[in-house]
Structure 1
Amino acid sequence: MKHTAPRGRMLKRLAAVSAAALAVGLMTAPASSAAQAPADPGTIPGVDEIVSSPNLKQVAHLDKSGPLTGTNTDWAFQGKYAYGGNYNGFYVYDVSKPKEPKVAAQVLCPGSQNDISVTGNLLFLGTDSQRTNDTCVNEASTTAVPGERWEGIKVFDISNPLTPKYVKSVKTDCGSHTQTLVPGKRGDKNVYLYVSSYNLAGSDQPNCALPHDKISVVKVPLHNPAAAAVVATPVVFPDGGFPGSESGSATTGCHDITVYAEKDLAAGACMGDGVLFDIKNRAKPTVITTVRDEVNFAFWHSATFNNSGTKIVFTDELGGGGAATCNEEIGPNRGADAIYDIVTKKGKKKLEFRSYYKIPRYNADTEVCVAHNGSLIPVPGRDIMVQAWYLGGVSVWDFTDSRRPKEIAYWERGPLSLETLTGGGSWSAYWYNGYIYSNDITKGVDVLELKDPRTAIAKLFRADTFNAQTQDNFLRWW
Structure 2
Amino acid sequence: MALGSLPPRAVVIGCALLCFACSDKPGPAEPPPPPVEPWDGTYTPLVETTDWVDRGPYAPCTFTGVQGSIVDCDSPSLFDLSKCDTASLSTLDAHGIYGVDVRNVAGYPDFVGVRIPPDGGTGTMEGRPLTRQQVTGSFQFSSRYTLRNVVRQTVIVGCGVQPSGMVTGCFARCANGKASWGTFEAARMTWGRGESESSGGLRLISESDVPQSGSHVDVYVAHKHAYVVSTNLDPGTEGGLAVFDVSDPSHLVLKKSITLPGDSFWNAAWTKDDTLYVASRSSGVIVFDISNPADPLFVRNVPGGAPLDVHTLFVDGNRLYAVSPGPAPTGETLVFDISTPRDPTLLNRIVVSDTTSYIPSAHDSFAYQDRLYINHFSSGYVVFDVKDPMSPRELGTYTFQTENSSSMSHSGAVGTFAGRTIAFEGGEGQGTHLRVLDVTDPTNIPLIGTYKLRFHASIHNMILKDKRLYIAYYQEGLRVLDVSIPTNPREIAYFNTFRESNPGLTDWMTEGAMGIRVPGDGYVYVADSTRGLLIFNEL
Q: TM-score, normalised by structure 1?
A: 0.64
Report the equivalent of 2:175.
Answer: none
Other structure's SS at 2:330 match: coil
Q: Distance in 2 between matches of 1:127 and 1:358?
A: 31
Higher relative contact order, structure no. (Cα contacts within 8 Å, ≥ 6 residues apart): 1
Q: Distance in 2 between matches of 1:178 and 1:425?
A: 18
**In the alignment, structure 1 residue 72 sits paired with structure 2 residue 216:** yes
Report the equivalent of 1:163.
Answer: 295
**Does the Cα contact within 8 Å between 1:373 and 1:387 map onto a contact in 2?**
yes
Structure 1 stretches of 5 or more lacking a match?
1-23, 29-39, 131-150, 185-191, 200-207, 319-324, 326-333, 456-478
Q: Distance in 2 between matches of 1:85 and 1:312?
A: 26
Report the equivalent of 2:439.
Answer: 342
Aligned length: 338
Q: Distance in 2 between matches of 1:173 and 1:108?
A: 18
Q: Distance in 2 between matches of 1:120 and 1:231?
A: 20
One-letter amino acid matched to 2:201 = N
Question: Residue by residue, what CA displacement relative to the aligned partner does 1:296-316 show, whole Å, maximum 9, x if unpaired?
Answer: 772011110125571001111
Question: Residue by residue, what CA displacement relative to the aligned partner does 1:359-392 show, whole Å, maximum 9, x if unpaired?
Answer: 3xx59x7xxx3211121233xxxx2101001111
**Does the Cα contact within 8 Å between 2:330 and 2:352 map onto a contact in 1?**
no
Other structure's SS at 2:413 match: strand
Question: Residue by residue, what CA displacement relative to the aligned partner does 1:75-96 show, whole Å, maximum 9, x if unpaired?
Answer: 2221311211122221222111
More strand by share: 2
Report the equivalent of 1:473.
Answer: none
Task: Pick closer, same or farther for the CA change 1:420–1:349 going to 2, 3 Å.
Answer: closer
Q: Which of 443, 460, 476 pairs up with 2:531?
A: 443
Q: Which of 375, 378, 385 pairs up with 1:269?
A: 375
Q: TM-score, normalised by structure 2?
A: 0.57
**Does the Cα contact within 8 Å between 1:90 and 1:114 map onto a contact in 2?**
no
One-letter amino acid matched to 2:252 = P
Report the equivalent of 1:27.
Answer: 35
Question: Residue by residue, what CA displacement relative to the aligned partner does 1:232-289 show, whole Å, maximum 9, x if unpaired?
Answer: 223321x52xx33xxxx431x31001112xx212211111221122121234432221
Report the equivalent of 1:287.
Answer: 394
Report the equivalent of 1:377.
Answer: 465
Question: Residue by residue, what CA displacement relative to the aligned partner does 1:374-424 show, whole Å, maximum 9, x if unpaired?
Answer: 21233xxxx210100111111001222232222111111344269973553
1:178 CA drift (Å): 1.0
Report the equivalent of 1:92.
Answer: 243
Report the equivalent of 1:303.
Answer: 412
**In the alignment, structure 1 residue 428 sits paired with structure 2 residue 428:** no
One-letter amino acid matched to 1:372 = H
Q: Which of 276, 284, 297 pairs up with 1:152?
A: 284
One-letter amino acid matched to 1:193 = L
**In the alignment, structure 1 residue 258 sits paired with structure 2 residue 374:** no
Q: Which has the larger radius of gyration?
A: 2
Report the equivalent of 2:445.
Answer: 351
**Does the Cα contact within 8 Å between 1:387 and 1:430 map onto a contact in 2?**
no
Matches within 5 A, 1:1-400: 27=35, 45=190, 51-65=197-211, 68-87=212-231, 88-109=239-260, 110-128=263-281, 130=282, 151-170=283-302, 171=304, 174-184=308-318, 192-199=319-326, 208=327, 210-222=328-340, 225-226=342-343, 228-237=344-353, 239-240=354-355, 243-244=356-357, 249-251=358-360, 253-260=361-368, 263-272=369-378, 273-295=380-402, 298-308=407-417, 310-318=421-429, 325=430, 334-344=431-441, 350-359=444-453, 362=454, 369-378=457-466, 383-400=467-484
Structure 2 stretches of 5 or more lacking a match?
1-31, 37-162, 166-187, 232-238
Question: Residue by residue, what CA displacement relative to the aligned partner does 1:326-364 show, whole Å, maximum 9, x if unpaired?
Answer: xxxxxxxx21011101234xxx763221122123xx59x
1:444 CA drift (Å): 0.9
Other structure's SS at 2:439 match: strand
One-letter amino acid matched to 2:409 = W
